[in-house]
């Protein structure tokens, strides 16, 4: 019988990157009922120095062809590979789910379950600012309709699928031209989703309200820099900047996802590299997002829940108080994910929410998986 096989580009990185790669491969091989055909592109510092721009050309070409990539952390030396890839792949939307992780110690006692959907371009981050003499500087903040529209559509689609509420947030009362434009585009998009509840909050008020009543906010739709601040604050609330993952998306003219790149929030952790101490939870969460994107929602949910349950039980790596090595933890995640997928009575919150049938396709209409010969 032919096994369903998904092709994915794997961007190999620095520091703990190789250990994380091994851990993901183990979970994919031992935990999932389909195959992943990893197509590696090594974007570590050493290879970047050796191959220069040709390496990014190869990575971009591969990702454009396959449509999906998992990226491991990379050291920023001259350029930031994240920024280069974001620009070269025209990634317009960043989705960062932030969810309380039982077992991870936190100062904040309430549960957080927030999807931050961020316009990936513009704002003050594409700022051609300059000094004015010695005593002042000027900054230019750019907001364009199209990336706002794309992020809004992503947020409302996510809300429709997951039965969540969209809160768009900015400082539209003060930044009238830029943030006002953002909110007007969001309102236009909201009209096409009458079934989705849409609220508007000023960004400063949102931060306070999120701390006071986190359960009132499920999807926050924001401009680039607000998204950066909000993601980090939300991660602080759940007790860890490190155990987060993102999906970065680029779209075609028909607004279908053209390319998707998934990565962990943390860096290369050079202080523990090569010691088997790296916590692979964040890369597993990134992998789970990738599986959702491929339409394998049950498998993605199983990988995510397996890792989170183990953390809750204290079966974890030393950074979060456990005694397991990276690969011991990965082995347990694989076993538990497999058991969940095989257990017909198992269901997760994500699965309950994702009632719509997901049939993801590449922009050319072909399915993501590639059938291999008889096995
Ligand atoms: P870092 O996230 O690599 O490390 C901060 C601390 O967290 C360290 O003590 C580290 O050991 C620990 N840590 C991080 N990830 C961990 C994991 N998975 N398991 C256990 N412990 C973990 O941040 P940094 O030290 O500021 O940056 C180091 C390098 O990473 C820099 O070169 C930076 O450019 C790069 N970086 C890359 C990315 C990315 O590729 N997405 C993101 C951030 C930083």
Tokens of 83: 């920024």
- Ligand 1 pocket test, pick from 269, 276, 281, 325 with the greatest ligand atom count within 8 Å of Cβ, gives 269
Ligand 1 atom closest to Cα of residue 271: 11
Of 237, 264, 294, the one marking the end of a domain is 237
Using the predicted structure, report yes or no on whether residue 241 has a pLDDT greater than 80: no
Question: In this predicted model, what pLDDT tens digit does every residue of 339-348 receive, in sequence order?
Answer: 999 988 888 7
Residue 106 Cα to ligand 1 middle (Å): 20
Q: Which residues line ligand 1 (CB under 6 A)?
A: 16, 73-76, 82, 242, 263, 266-272, 278-279, 282, 319
Locate 70 and state its tokens.
């998992």
Does one domain contain both 287 and 371?
yes
Residue 1 confidence class, pLDDT cut points 50, 70, 90: low
Res. 357 pLDDT band, cuts 50 70 90: low
Q: How far is the CA of 323 from the centre of ligand 1 (A)?
A: 20
- Give nearest CA residue, ligand 1 atom 42: 267
Residues 64 and 141 in one domain: no
Q: Is residue 75 located within the same domain as residue 190?
A: no
Instruction: Print the domain residue range for 269.
Output: 1-93+244-375
* Any domain includes 99: no
In a domain, 101, yes or no: no
Distance 272 CA to ligand 1 centre (A): 10
What per-residue confidence (pLDDT) applies to 375? 39
Shared-domain flag, residues 2 and 73 = yes
pLDDT of residue 374: 43
pLDDT at 364 over 90: no
Tell whether 282 and 375 lie within a shared domain.
yes
Which pLDDT band, with edges at 50, 70 and 90, does 373 fall under?
Answer: very low
What is the per-residue pLDDT across 56-67, written as a single tens digit (0 to 9) for each?
999 999 999 999
User: Higher confidence at residue 202 or residue 100?
Assistant: 202
Q: Which residue's CA lies nearest to atom 4 of ligand 1?
A: 269
What is the pLDDT at residue 116? 97
As a whole number of Å, the end-to-end CA separation of the chain is 6
- Ligand 1 centroid to Cα of residue 41, in Å, is 20
Q: 56 CA to middle of ligand 1, Å? A: 22
Alpha helices in the chain (DSSP H): 17-31, 45-51, 53-66, 81-88, 145-162, 178-190, 203-212, 224-237, 281-293, 297-312, 326-342, 349-353
- Pair (75, 135) in one structural domain: no
The DSSP H or E segment spanning 119 is strand 113-119
Give the chain's domain count. 2
Q: Quick one: which atom of ligand 1 is closest to the CA of 272?
A: 11
- Statement to judge: residues 227 and 252 lie in one domain: no
Mean pLDDT score of the chain, rounded to an integer? Answer: 92
Is the model's pLDDT at 28 over the cut of 50?
Answer: yes
Which pLDDT value is given to residue 292?
93
Query: Does residue 74 lie in a domain region?
Result: yes
Percent of the chain clearing pLDDT 90 (strictly above)? 76
The reply to whether 100 falls in a domain is: no
258/312 same-domain check: yes
- Span 262-301, pLDDT tens digits: 999 899 999 999 999 999 999 999 999 999 999 999 999 9
pLDDT of residue 174: 95
Residue pair 121/223 in contact by the 8 Å Cβ criterion: no
Residue minimizing CA distance to atom 22 of ligand 1: 269
Nearest CA to ligand 1 atom 10: 269
């Amino acid at each position: 019988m032919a096994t369903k096989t998904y092709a994915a580009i794997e961007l190999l990185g620095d520091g703990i990157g190789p250990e994380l790669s091994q851990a993901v491969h183990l979970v994919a091989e031992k935990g999932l009922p389909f195959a992943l055909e990893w197509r590696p592109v090594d974007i570590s510092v050493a290879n970047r120095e050796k191959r220069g721009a040709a390496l990014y050309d190869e990575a971009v070409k591969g990702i454009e062809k396959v449509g999906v990539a998992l990226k491991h952390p990379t050291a920023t030396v001259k350029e930031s590979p994240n920024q280069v890839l974001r620009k070269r792949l025209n990634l317009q939307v960043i989705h960062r789910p932030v969810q309380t992780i039982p077992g991870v110690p936190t100062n904040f006692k309430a549960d957080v379950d927030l999807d931050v959907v961020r316009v990936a371009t513009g704002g003050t981050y594409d700022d051609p600012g300059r000094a004015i003499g010695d005593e002042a500087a000027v900054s230019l903040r750019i907001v364009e309709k199209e990336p706002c529209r794309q992020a809004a559509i992503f947020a409302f689609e996510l809300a429709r699928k997951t039965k969540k509420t969209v809160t768009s947030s900015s400082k539209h009362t003060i930044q009238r031209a830029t943030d006002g434009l953002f909110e007007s585009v969001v309102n236009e998009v909201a009209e096409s989703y009458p079934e989705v509840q849409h609220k508007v909050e000023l960004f400063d008020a949102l931060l306070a309200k999120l701390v006071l009543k986190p359960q009132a906010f499920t999807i926050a739709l924001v401009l680039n820099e607000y998204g950066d601040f909000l993601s980090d604050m939300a991660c602080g609330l759940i007790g860890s900047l490190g155990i987060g993952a993102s999906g970065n998306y680029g779209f075609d003219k028909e607004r279908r996802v053209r390319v998707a790149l998934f990565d962990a929030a943390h860096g290369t952790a050079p202080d523990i590299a090569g010691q088997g101490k790296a916590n692979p939870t964040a890369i597993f969460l990134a992998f789970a997002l990738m599986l959702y994107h491929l339409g394998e929602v049950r498998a993605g949910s199983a990988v995510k829940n397996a890792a989170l349950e183990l953390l809750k039980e204290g079966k974890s790596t030393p950074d979060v108080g456990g005694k397991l090595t990276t690969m011991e933890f990965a082995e347990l995640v694989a076993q538990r994910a497999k058991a969940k997928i095989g257990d017909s009575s198992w269901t997760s919150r994500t699965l309950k929410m994702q009632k719509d049938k997901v049939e993801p396709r590449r922009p050319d209409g072909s399915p993501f998986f590639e059938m291999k010969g008889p096995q």
